Structure 1
Amino acid sequence: MAVNQGEQIGALKQMTEREGVDDALLQRDADVFFHQTLSTPVFNTISKAEGAYIFDGSGKKYLDLHGNGVHTIGYNHPKVVEALKHQMDVSLSFAPRRFTNEPSVALAEKLTELAPDDLSRVLFCPGGSEAIEMAVMLAKHHTGKYKTLSFEGTFHGAGFQAVSIGADPHFKEGLGPMMPGALHLPLPDYFRNPWGSDDQQFVDDMYLKKLQDKIESEEEIAALVTETIFYNSTVPTKYYWEQVRSLCDEHGILLIFDEIYTAFGRTGKMFASEHFITPDILVVGKGFGGGIVPYAGIIGKEKLNTLQHKSIGHYTHEKSPFCAAAAKSVIEVLEEDRLVERAATLGDYFKKGLETLQGRFEIIGNVTGLGLNLGVDLIKDRKTKERAIGEAHQLMAFCFERGVSFKLIQQNILNLKPALVITQEEIDTVLNTLEDGLQKI
């Protein structure tokens, strides 16, 4: 959905008109960085990030329910810091290509141990955009086809191929012709489906028919690239993914799940796909680096290990022992502190609290999501489901002032993705803050 500049700037202005904001540093930022929507103007400075919180320049703390998705195990986790210090102490911070190292191999082995079914091969890279590029190139080479299928409005990364696949007009307009063969379908949406139906299987079947028609009318489709749980927190049914899996298998199309945001426990499973079916390639990133270093990768099936004569991930930091040490420590924290199970339990608690608010406030049209990956859709009218964009921005600004930070999806959906170390008491703080804000607006 296109960015509403007026609403965004109004909310930013409300956020910045507070005591303790370092105006001088904000101005220095504005004077030196290229300006771009979604990154500028900034509305505050950060002096520290720790656990589930960020701290601004005045020391005020904010419970961060956004974190760009990197804060899975909390910011600055001691175990990740220690792992990185160790790599520096043993003077193994980089490995040139054609050399391997213990941290990278150990991480790869651990990932294939954790991954579902026969996902048993990996490649690493600096970020999620590059990981999507690797997954798509692998699919194209393996199948000998060049087209991709993905859903309208989604974001799969900032690289040219990833932007072409992602289909968000905001990132594509003005760039001229995009990658040939990037095909798109309407994003499945139960709340605002075009048939006005509350029957999930009917809605599934209608979207599946669109998918089947597209597949049967196009040749040369190498892969379907999709988030397992959509960016607006919509959770497709298991039935839907089972039918998608069947269609892909029938037509020789590889299924790529983008779990850059949702892998590593966020949905109450180590990988979101474990709630549904296993893809051919799983893409991970963001929280993979512990919120300290950028790292990402792909996990694929053994049958795809057929490109010894090609390069699809020729990245300088492909087997970075430094980044690998961080990523492996993230997994250790998840397991030792049982954060995956915690996300499932606290996610249920959080969602029920949001549903209670939905029962009290007409402006909440829909609550969706799984685990600590939740969305609250604000509407002007429950019959028309018109998006309450202005009200959503007002609520975001109110909550920010009260020390709760989150972002908006599609301009009206509260995107609530806290660190998995959040406590039940902190969730209560979020719920109480939302309640106060909803009463005010």
Structure 2
Amino acid sequence: MNAAIDNKHHRCEGDVNTTEARENWQQKRQHKQTQSLLERDANVFLHQSMSTPCLNSLQAADGITITDSCGHSYMDFHGNNVHQLGYGHPVVTQKVIEQIAKLPFSPRRFTNETAIECAEKLAEISGGELNRVLFAPGGTSVIGMALKLARYITGNYKVVSLWDSFHGASLDAISVGGEACFREGMGPLMAGVERIPPPVTYRGALTSPDGSDVHYADYLEYVIEKEGGIGVFIAEAVRNTDVQVPSKAYWKRIREICDKHNVLLIIDDIPNGMGRSGFWFTHQAFAIEPDILCIGKGLGGGLVPMAAMITKDKYNTATQVSLGHYTHEKSPIGCAAALATMHVIEQENLLSKVQDDSVFVKQRLLKLKEQFSIIGDIRGIGLLWAVELVSSPLHKTRAFDEAEAMLYECLTQGLSFKVSQGNVIQLSPPLIITREQLNQALNIFENALNKISKEFNYV
């Protein structure tokens, strides 16, 4: 496969890292120490898409900022979705240190008070009927546990998921995921997966003239009735990668369909849980409740890999099945980090703060949309926003080169973010960001838009 085709194919979950623009930026910014580290990295790690070659090397991370080996600092609006509390939050760090000194590990045949308290707290903030918890060391593992539990409960192995979705990189996760770049060359995957279009209001074959997205939910019922034997529907409440925000009507209809056909609803809130939406969990913004909730990433406070599956007491029936059986299943360190994370979110009133920040960001971005014709769409919730760049507003043509140029210009000015689908700039800062820092970052973004628009001859 040639480079041009390869780059186009992998414009999905993350930005492309094998382009001429990437190479040019690296040559301008990096000194010999960084180049040496990147060479050593390339020589020792197994190469994989979107990870190799690396962009840069880091020497420090603190608060909302990451600092590279050259001493350049960047406000991190990416963070792989673990940085709800930024980096090195003192409360989380201190609780983990105390836990390491007291009980660093708990063999799986034992329980411990920290793990119990963490599970109890998760049940409390989940509300409703979600009160049974199982921990795992990462989000992908939690997805696997949820799929296993759903099979056991329903007796049906078939799954409906969304195209363009991402649920992890393991074989079972990519089987239900909707991004082709993760399935390339993998051969036969988990049987019984049907995919339907995601609710998209800006572009897509099924867009409605009135902007409604409820008809996307009706497509789920069509597949359930035609296919038969469907046990579960799995989706993100808000798609994280290029930020698609469904309506409350969409999710209400999805819940009704699942209940009508005895299909379990799994919500994957691994990237956006723990407050990013302005709610503890993103589904709460849509006033629905899943049968199984998967969380991770930010749960560990940006410090410890930590994930959890949360379900209802009536589904506590697979007592003879090892759903997870992970070595660090009740990790005292991970649970200490998670407990501290929940404590900080409560004590610093971050949920309310994020809702206020959401209004501010939306207003700023909508003004930029009025000012710059390259911006085709603005969408988001809480502190998760997407700016979709298009070369033709009429035809909604994806502006791949322009989005990449925006990335490197913003990096040069001290702002880091993710590019998804090749043209969608995703902005997801830490929840602890101050209004002054948020304004500073958006000023950098505006300056970059102005420069790139002139370079690409936009009016």
**What is the TM-score of this pair, normalised by structure 2?**
0.93
Partner of 2:69: 57
Q: Give the whole-Å Cα distance in 2 for the aligned partners of 1:208 and 1:326.
A: 37
- CA drift of 1:84 comes to 1.1
- For 1:18, the aligned partner's letter is K
**Mapping of residues 80-91 of structure 1, within 5 Å:** 80-90=92-102
Q: Percent identity?
A: 41
Partner of 1:330: 341
Contact 1:399 1:405 in 2 (8 A): yes
**Mapping of residues 156-235 of structure 1, within 5 Å:** 156-201=167-212, 203-205=213-215, 207-231=216-240, 232-235=242-245
Q: Give the whole-Å Cα distance in 1 for the aligned partners of 2:327 and 2:17.
A: 41
Aligned residue-pair number? 438
- For 2:224, the aligned partner's letter is I
Q: Give the whole-Å Cα distance in 2 for the aligned partners of 1:271 and 1:216.
A: 30
The alignment partner of 1:122 has SS state of strand
- CA drift of 1:6 comes to 7.5
Partner of 1:105: 116
Contact 1:259 1:285 in 2 (8 A): yes
Contact 1:7 1:393 in 2 (8 A): no
- Taking structure 1 as reference, are residues 195 and 324 closer, same or farther at Cα in structure 2, changes over 3 Å only? closer
Q: Give the whole-Å Cα distance in 2 for the aligned partners of 1:7 and 1:146.
A: 37
Q: Give the whole-Å Cα distance in 1 for the aligned partners of 2:25 and 2:439.
A: 23
Q: Give the whole-Å Cα distance in 2 for the aligned partners of 1:210 and 1:287.
A: 32
Q: Give the whole-Å Cα distance in 1 for the aligned partners of 2:268 and 2:203.
A: 23
Partner of 2:9: 2
**Mapping of residues 408-419 of structure 1, within 5 Å:** 408-419=419-430
- For 2:9, the aligned partner's letter is A
The alignment partner of 1:379 has SS state of strand
- CA drift of 1:327 comes to 0.7
Q: Give the whole-Å Cα distance in 1 for the aligned partners of 2:348 and 2:105.
A: 29
Uncovered stretches (5+) of structure 2, i.e. residues with no partner: 1-7, 453-459
The counterpart of 2:126, out of the listed 98, 115, 118, is 115
Contact 1:71 1:291 in 2 (8 A): yes
Contact 1:151 1:226 in 2 (8 A): yes
**Mapping of residues 307-326 of structure 1, within 5 Å:** 307-326=318-337
| Large movers: runs of 4+ above 6 Å | none
Q: Give the whole-Å Cα distance in 2 for the aligned partners of 1:43 and 1:94.
A: 34
Q: Give the whole-Å Cα distance in 1 for the aligned partners of 2:186 and 2:358.
A: 40
- Taking structure 1 as reference, are residues 427 and 6 closer, same or farther at Cα in structure 2, changes over 3 Å only? closer
Q: Give the whole-Å Cα distance in 2 for the aligned partners of 1:293 and 1:14.
A: 34
**Mapping of residues 128-167 of structure 1, within 5 Å:** 128-167=139-178
- For 2:58, the aligned partner's letter is I
- For 2:77, the aligned partner's letter is L
Q: Give the whole-Å Cα distance in 2 for the aligned partners of 1:65 and 1:57.
A: 19
- CA drift of 1:209 comes to 2.8
Contact 1:14 1:397 in 2 (8 A): no
- For 2:244, the aligned partner's letter is T
- For 1:68, the aligned partner's letter is N
The counterpart of 2:46, out of the listed 15, 34, 47, is 34
- For 2:53, the aligned partner's letter is P
Partner of 1:304: 315
Tell which deviates more after alignment, 350-359 or 423-432.
423-432
The alignment partner of 2:447 has SS state of helix
Q: Give the whole-Å Cα distance in 2 for the aligned partners of 1:195 and 1:154.
A: 17
Residue 237, structure 1, aligned to residue 247, structure 2: yes
Q: Give the whole-Å Cα distance in 1 for the aligned partners of 2:18 and 2:418.
A: 11
Task: After superposition, give the CA deviation of every residue in 1:251-298 in whole Å (9 maximum; x if it has no partner).
Answer: 110000000011111011111111111111110000111111101011
Partner of 2:91: 79
Q: Give the whole-Å Cα distance in 2 for the aligned partners of 1:409 and 1:19.
A: 23
When the two chains are superposed, the root-mean-square deviation of aligned CA atoms in Å is 1.4
Partner of 2:365: 354
Contact 1:116 1:278 in 2 (8 A): no
Q: Give the whole-Å Cα distance in 1 for the aligned partners of 2:36 and 2:181.
A: 30
- Taking structure 1 as reference, are residues 64 and 262 closer, same or farther at Cα in structure 2, changes over 3 Å only? same
The alignment partner of 1:234 has SS state of coil
- Taking structure 1 as reference, are residues 405 and 419 closer, same or farther at Cα in structure 2, changes over 3 Å only? same
Q: Give the whole-Å Cα distance in 1 for the aligned partners of 2:131 and 2:223.
A: 31
Q: Give the whole-Å Cα distance in 2 for the aligned partners of 1:315 and 1:190.
A: 40
Q: Give the whole-Å Cα distance in 2 for the aligned partners of 1:138 and 1:78.
A: 37
Q: Give the whole-Å Cα distance in 2 for the aligned partners of 1:382 and 1:302.
A: 50
- Taking structure 1 as reference, are residues 106 and 426 closer, same or farther at Cα in structure 2, changes over 3 Å only? same
- CA drift of 1:20 comes to 4.6
The alignment partner of 1:390 has SS state of helix
The alignment partner of 1:82 has SS state of helix
Residue 45, structure 1, aligned to residue 54, structure 2: no
